[in-house]
Chains A and B, each alone.
Chain A
Amino acid sequence: MSRTDDPVALDEWYVVGRPEDLSIGRPVATRLLGAELTLGLAGGAVTAVETETGRALPVTLAYGHVWTTLGTPTRGLPPIAEFDETDRRLATCGAVHVRASGLRLVENFLDMAHFPFVHTDILGVEDRPTVEPYDCEIRRDVDEVWATNCRFWQPQAAANAAGGQMSDYLYRVARPFTVLLYKTCPSDPARQDVIGLLIQPTDEDRSIAYAFVLVVDAVSSTTEIIHFQQTIFLQDRIILENQRPRLLPLSPRAETPTRADLSSIAYRRWLKEKGLRFGIDRREAA
């Protein structure tokens, strides 16, 4: 397919790679919203060009990743205050390719009910499958979807977890394809680790997922932190690749009620309000 004409999708910033994966003189081909892009390094700066037209695209380096846009975003990247805290460590986990709409990836990330069955004995245990009530709202002041007061029993909540803990979660969908998670830090219950899932929607039904972890963890090696996240995400990848349709239906009735939980309903309503079309199953649209 060629570049989408969906203005809502075009007018956003997206991650398209990591700076350390670019080297001088070796352009990298990638895709965004159906358009071919060429990334490169020129004079120490990262460049992004829409391959077909030769148009230079704006580039921002932030949160360990390269961001660009094909349109004219009305707002910048989502602010993440924890990046200013100097005792935190950032680990970026690379790129994982998934044959599914990026919106499916966000919705899976929001769904706690799958922890015991998909991330068995890591993020959940099969004999404690219940998702306790939590709060969810579309925050009009920042135009984000927040799920708060989420609690889940986790046998191994992070790479440095010495045992099980009741994890407190806060989910923040900052942009349609960008979602953040704040969860109890195993080494300091007063603080929260930040995990980001940054999605590059290459095509409507294909995505590249980038994850970062911004943690207070003096114990684990960066490799251990990355491997922990890769393990979790590859468990999700199998589920995501087998979901049908690959695009996200907006009607909650289109799928089983267990998946269409509170945060999923809010997320879908928010996407509908925005009028986003890219990555959405439009067959049911009435």
Chain B
Amino acid sequence: MSPLIQVKNVTKKYGGLTANNDISFDVAENEILSVIGPNGAGKSTLFKMISSFTPTTSGEVLYQGERISNLKPHIVARKGVVRTFQETTIFKSMTVRESVVVAQHLRAKASLAGYFWGSKTAKEDVTAFGEYADELLEFLGMSEISGEQATNLPQGSLRALGIAIGLATDPKVLLLDEPFAGMNHDETMRMVDLVRSVRDERGVTVMLVEHDMPAVMNISDRIVVLNFGEKIAQGTPSEIQNNEKVIEAYLGSADDEIGM
């Protein structure tokens, strides 16, 4: 079977700085693949190129054999490759449920005009969106906070909301940028289980960037390691834990520790 996502010789330069240098790897369908590396290694940049939030300087990203880099973010999202954000990125004055409802608009069957006139299909859409929002929030264990204004949520729930919004689009591939940031150990473990069930029960292929090494080792099928914009290793969690280059890269940086 051919891989779902192919990152091919991708390079990103910001002026004189090379944030990603000639990165290549594949992601298989139904895989959970983590991208790790010290701060500034270029992980978020890589995700931004995969989701077309920023163009590549050279190289390309293929999804089902089709190029998805250097397009527009909404086009890539519509193809089923959806990212979440490292920084808190929410619809401030919407409730959790409203955010999840609006994120489903891609699935709308009725046209914008149909909604304007209140056509039958539009009404069915609206009902379906509401039902799916409730189902999704239940699945994510967020039912109790579904009526909360996004700005009133604690950090951990904000991360979960970001994932809920991404999932509501019904993606084939979900790119999670530091989904466990700001969560305590228990929350992280719950989230790890959740991400795994997103893959298992919803058939979503997951790519994630994370600094929490125990969580990464626990959740990943495979790991790609970046350092200073270069891919220095890839492999299974145990391969990565024993990789000389990786250990060196992490020992070289003060604030990270590879969980062994």
Does B associate with A?
no
Chain B positions within 8 Å of A, measured between CB atoms, are: none
